[in-house]
Structure 1
Amino acid sequence: MPLAVYVLGLAIFAQGTSELMLAGLLPEMAADLGVSIPHTGLLISAFAGGMLVGAPVLAVVTLRWPRRTALLTFLAIFAAAHVAGALTPNYAVLLATRIVGAFVYAGFWAVAVVTAVGLAGPTARGRAIGIVAGGLTVATVVGLPAGTVVGQHLGWRAAFWAVAVLSALAAVGVITTIPGGRPHPQRTPRLGAEFRALANPQVWLLYATTALATTALIVSFSYLAPMLTETTGLTPGWVPAVLALYGIGAFTGITIGSRTADAHPVRTLQAGVGGLVAVSTLLALATDVPALAVPAILLLGAFGFATNPTLNSRAFALAPEAPTLAAAMNVSAFNVGITAGPWLGGLAIDAGFDYPAIAWIGAALGVATLGLVALSAAADIRVRATA
């Protein structure tokens, strides 16, 4: 596997730390900014909303750019947005910086996945995507708890400064490992051809599956910190450790999932989503029992992330003539779920429900996702029968 693929994974770690760390900082940020926890949770949704729009827009805008130029541009803007977020005392301005940062982070994701697949080749597609996406799981293991600790002891703004520095270091790695120059003329993507390739109904079924599976995971993940302190009864000092367990589970899940994504995509999805339903149900029933809730959170990360390589690599398999837009639209699908999860959880809390209700929402969404996976499996059978 080329070194550049691992560098892209490290860059995703730097940016993914920002995406994830707010889940561990909601109480501190709410107190400092003078807003409620559900309103602070909207900063997570705003980030996802920026990614939702940014992926396809920037994929089109930078379609013919040298990939190294695009990646460096995105990293520079991302770092600047976090400097601005660390300096502002205003909730609305912070919300805007989250959207801007997420917008370019989505562009980075889309270009990074295509770059990694191109460097690794089609036979190692799932593995390459697993390494890049693995940067996000490392962020859950290291970045999320570290950001929580930094935020609790030095203030949440210090965590934003740390992300800006990490992004700058990632840019150095991109400069030194990603080839420069424009794509070869015969390999230059053509926008019209990419749009035509997206007409496949199975591609849109994949996007719906991605969005729903992500919502099923994120609705619980977004409120883990207040759930652990208010319902499970843990002290705030234990929150980073439990979030680290979630990250270990995520890393384990994505590692296993990347090995089975290419050979057994549907079975991987069935096992991952089915496990997510079971674990969400356990979490809903045992939120107030630490001995059960803490292991459930570890398994939540494992099953939730086991599907990630398959959901990403299937976009290339179903739309091989549209690698850039297929990847970008799938990034948007992921962020439909990341946007919807905190929003649905916030609605439940505002309606007077307690935190176990959020896990029940995740379980119900997981069951719906299994229905989409079944439809996808049936579509695969029909395609093979007519081939």
Structure 2
Amino acid sequence: MKKIAYIGCLGLIGIITTELGVIGILPQVATHYQISIDKAGVLLSAFALVIALTGPFMTLFSSGFDRKKIMMLSIAVFLFTGVVSSLAPPFWLLMLVRLLPAFLQPVYISTAIAAALVQADKKKEHQLMGIVLGGIAIAMVTTVPFATYVASMFNWQAAFVVQAMVSALALLAIFKGMPAMPVREKKSYGTQLKILKNPVFLLSAVMNFLMVAAWFSTYSYFADYLGKVKGMDTQMISYMLFLFGITGVFANWLSGKMLSVSIPGTTAFFLAGTVLVPFMLEYSGGNNWNTILVIAIWGFLYAPSFLNASAYLISAAPHALEFANSLSTSFGNLGVSVGTMVSGWVIADMGVKQSPWVGLCFGLLALLMIAWRTILERKKEGYTACMD
């Protein structure tokens, strides 16, 4: 199933390039449309909000269809978005076409993971999931910084051309490389919805939301922060995005290994970065070398957040894999949306320098959720032992 996992990974690279590729060009978009940076940030937060609100329903609806066809349809919509966005349409139309693929993003991710795991050995599930979700880290080391670099060389529209090209390649790979994958046994909606009554699952979902909100409070304004606080130009920022992604690729691989040992421990380890990074950014001052070191550490701790969030949530609902995956994506994107919006409000009032501290607040709350779930599970184990 590794071949399917790698194809799923390529598709996810296209998706993440479309979703996060705007981060490096937000200042240019804001200038072009003569709007503030927090309003330009809505291109990211609104995309994430659509995913958060519709993801579980779209995944439930599509759960009975052939997985190959669902993945192809999803990527085709992302391709359409990249093409239209590259034409620099009016801002309302740019926003509209940005929202269209958001409806299918969680469907693609949950379907790609389910396709990769359909015949997998139980011991290799986290490894295969790591390959698919590794597309996030790979996009951040390749296509996201490359799109920013191309935009610095030409214009911001060129970033969307890059996004469209990656989506076209992914669509071709799915069409040529994947067999038809009809769903042989569709689980009832009731069976999947049962997990929403599980308090451990609900705590895990809240942790997922808070963790992603913590990271995106700062990462959404990565380019603006480095430009205004650290004095870097657009080209240097593209290099920093590249560095951020390089350390992230290694971290994603390491996290996949660590999750096999301890899911909560691995999640807490990387989540601790939301508390450490704000202090490191603050005390790195204006020294470029210090800032480069901090960005490398930041990328390392940030990159596995989506893999850890999925593994953490699925571990609370192993019998509803696709629905749990879609909820992980939805709660994660709700975190992207809320983290971006809350940080945008703080930036509008106090300046972009304060955005890392917004992330620290969300991060502390996420760590609290991990501790709470651990206490609940230990109490449950103790009760079960007493009954035996």
**TM-score, scaled to structure 1:** 0.94
The alpha carbon displacement at 1:263 in A equals 2.2
CA distance in 1, matches of 2:37, 2:79: 26
Report the Cα offset of residue 26 of structure 1.
1.1
Q: 1:305 to 1:379 in 2, by over 3 A?
A: farther
Once the two structures are superposed, residues 353-378 of structure 1 have per-residue CA deviations (whole angstroms, 9 ceiling, x without a partner) of 13221111112221121111111221
Instruction: Name the aligned partner's letter for residue 126 of structure 1.
Output: H
Give the whole-Å Cα distance in 2 for the aligned partners of 1:91 and 1:246: 29
Alpha-carbon offset, residue 181 of structure 1:
4.4
Distance 2:195 2:293 in 1: 43
For residues 88 and 232 of structure 2, what CA distance do their matches in structure 1 show?
Answer: 31
CA distance in 2, matches of 1:357, 1:334: 22
User: For residues 230 and 101 of structure 1, what CA distance do their matches in structure 2 show?
Assistant: 31
Are 2:154 and 1:154 equivalent residues in the alignment?
yes
Other-structure match for 2:372: 375
Tell me if structure 1 keeps the 8 A contact 2:211–2:362: yes
1:123 and 2:123 are equivalent in the alignment: yes
Read off the aligned partner of 2:52 and give its amino acid letter. Answer: L
Instruction: Kindly provide the amino acid, as one letter, of the partner of residue 199 in structure 2.
Output: P
Q: Alignment partner for residue 225 of structure 1, among 220, 223, 226?
A: 223
1:168-317 equivalences under 5 Å are: 168-184=168-184, 187-286=185-284, 288-317=286-315
Is the 8 Å Cα contact of residues 18 and 78 (structure 2) preserved in structure 1?
no
Q: Distance in 1 between matches of 2:218 and 2:364?
A: 15
The one-letter code matched in structure 1 to 2:235 is G
* SS class of match (1:25): helix
Shift of 1:188: 2.1
Give matches, 1:36-55, under 5 Å: 36-55=36-55
SS in 2 for 1:319: coil
The match for 2:100 is 100
- In the aligned structure 2, how far is the partner of 1:82 from the partner of 1:309? 26
Distance in 2 (CA, whole Å) between partners of 1:384 and 1:155 is 58
Q: 1:315, 1:330 within 8 Å by CA — same for their partners in 2?
A: yes
Q: Secondary structure at the match of 1:232?
A: coil
User: What residue number does 1:362 align with?
Assistant: 359
Query: What is the CA distance between 1:88 and its match in structure 2?
Result: 4.3
Following TM superposition, by how much is the alpha carbon of 1:151 offset from its aligned partner in structure 2, in angstroms?
A: 1.4
Q: How many angstroms apart in 1 are the aligned matches of 2:291 and 2:351?
A: 15
CA contact (8 A) 1:254 1:308 kept: no
In the alignment, the residues of structure 2 paired with residue 275 and residue 93 of structure 1 have an alpha-carbon distance, to the nearest angstrom, of: 37
Q: Match for residue 13 of structure 2?
A: 13
The C-alpha deviation readout for 1:206-260, integer Å capped at 9, x for no partner, is 1111110111111111111111121111222211111111111221221111111
- Structure 2 alignment gaps of length 5 or more: none
Q: Residues of 2 paired with 1:84 and 1:93: CA distance?
A: 9
Cα contact 1:82–1:101 (8 A) shared by 2 = no
- Give, in whole Å, the separation in 1 of the partners of 2:320 and 2:144: 33
- For residues 20-35 of structure 1, the aligned pairs below 5 Å read 20-35=20-35
For the residues of structure 1 that align with 2:179 and 2:315, how far apart are their CA atoms? 25
Aligned partners of 2:347 and 2:353 also within 8 Å: no
- SS of the equivalent of 2:118 reads helix
Change in CA separation of 1:292 and 1:355 when aligned onto 2, cut-off 3 Å: farther
AA in 2 matched with 1:370: L
Amino acid at match of 1:22: V
> 1:214, 1:334 within 8 Å by CA — same for their partners in 2?
yes
Indicate the percent of aligned positions where both proteins have the same amino acid. Answer: 23
Give the superposition deviation at 1:287: 5.0
Structure 1: state its 5+ residue gaps.
Answer: none
Cα distance change, pair 305–384 in 1 and its aligned pair in 2 (3 A): farther
Provide the rounded CA distance (Å) in 2 between the counterparts of 1:384 and 1:141.
Answer: 42
CA contact (8 A) 2:43 2:95 kept: yes
Kindly report which structure 2 residues correspond to 1:66-145, keeping only aligned pairs within 5 A, or say none. 66-145=66-145
Whether the aligned pair in 1 keeps the contact of 2:214 and 2:358 (CA below 8 Å) is: yes
Q: CA RMSD in A?
A: 1.7
Kept after mapping to 2: 8 A contact 1:150/1:158: yes
Aligned to 2:59: 59
Q: Partner letter of residue 132 of structure 1? A: V
